[in-house]
Amino acid sequence: MKKILIITLIMLVVFLTSGLALARGHWHFGVFIAPPPIWIGPPAIIYREYHPPVYYYLPPPPYYYPSPPPYYSTPAKIRLDISSIPESCDVEIDGIYQGLTPITIELNQGIPVKVKISKPGYIPWEKTILPRSDMRISPELEKKSN
């Protein structure tokens, strides 16, 4: 009886496992402890759609035009009348020879200038002035002492 029971159990195990194999079309002999893994679908990479990289366009920052350079109007021109005692003295303004006295020179108003009046045999007269409208200069040169 023990023999029949053991043979029956062996046949039952073989039949159950082979029946499962016959249903799939494969011949498998063995005992499954857990069900086989279920394959739901192909890996996600197969179905992944191609999305090209997105480049975001950032508008340039607002451009602020630089302020225009300061506007300096041309300084007003004034006349400087220069006469001297004695006459026919050399006149230099900022080291540039201008002519002989009496002379009228046009200068920019408000810009200091260095005026030098000289004549051989006399002590030169030199002064820095700030020209104003219709200005007159009449220095008297002193003779050099021998």
Q: Is the N-terminal amide bond of 102 cis, ω within 30° of 0?
A: yes
Q: Nearest CA to 115 among 139, 133, 87, 134?
A: 139
Inter-residue contact 139 to 125 (CB < 8 Å): yes
Alpha-carbon distance of 119 to 132, in angstroms, equals: 26
Q: Is residue 86 part of a domain?
A: yes
19 pLDDT exceeds 60? no
- Domains contained in the chain, number: 1
Q: Is residue 59 part of a domain?
A: no
Please write the tens of the pLDDT for every residue from 87-104.
899 999 999 999 998 999
Q: Is residue 7 part of a domain?
A: no
Q: Does residue 118 sit in helix, strand or coil?
A: strand
Q: Is residue 132 part of a domain?
A: yes
Q: Is residue 104 part of a domain?
A: yes
Q: What is the pLDDT of residue 62?
A: 81
Q: What is the pLDDT of residue 97?
A: 94
pTM: 0.49
Q: Does residue 126 sit in helix, strand or coil?
A: strand
What percent of the chain is modeled with pLDDT above 90? 32
Starting at the earlier edge strand, list the strands of the sheet with 77-82: 103-108, 77-82, 135-137
Q: What is the pLDDT of residue 74?
A: 77
Q: Is the N-terminal amide bond of 120 cis, ω within 30° of 0?
A: no
Q: Is residue 98 part of a domain?
A: yes
Q: What is the CATH number of the domain that holds 85?
A: 2.60.40.1120
Q: What is the pLDDT of residue 37?
A: 61
* Type of residue found at 64: Y
Please write the tens of the pLDDT for every residue from 58-85.
777 888 888 887 777 777 889 999 999 8
Q: Which domain holds residue 94?
A: 77-137
Of the pLDDT bands very low, low, confident and very high (cuts 50, 70, 90), residue 34 is low
In this structure, what are the phi and psi dihedrals at residue 140, rounded to the nearest 5 degrees?
-110, 115
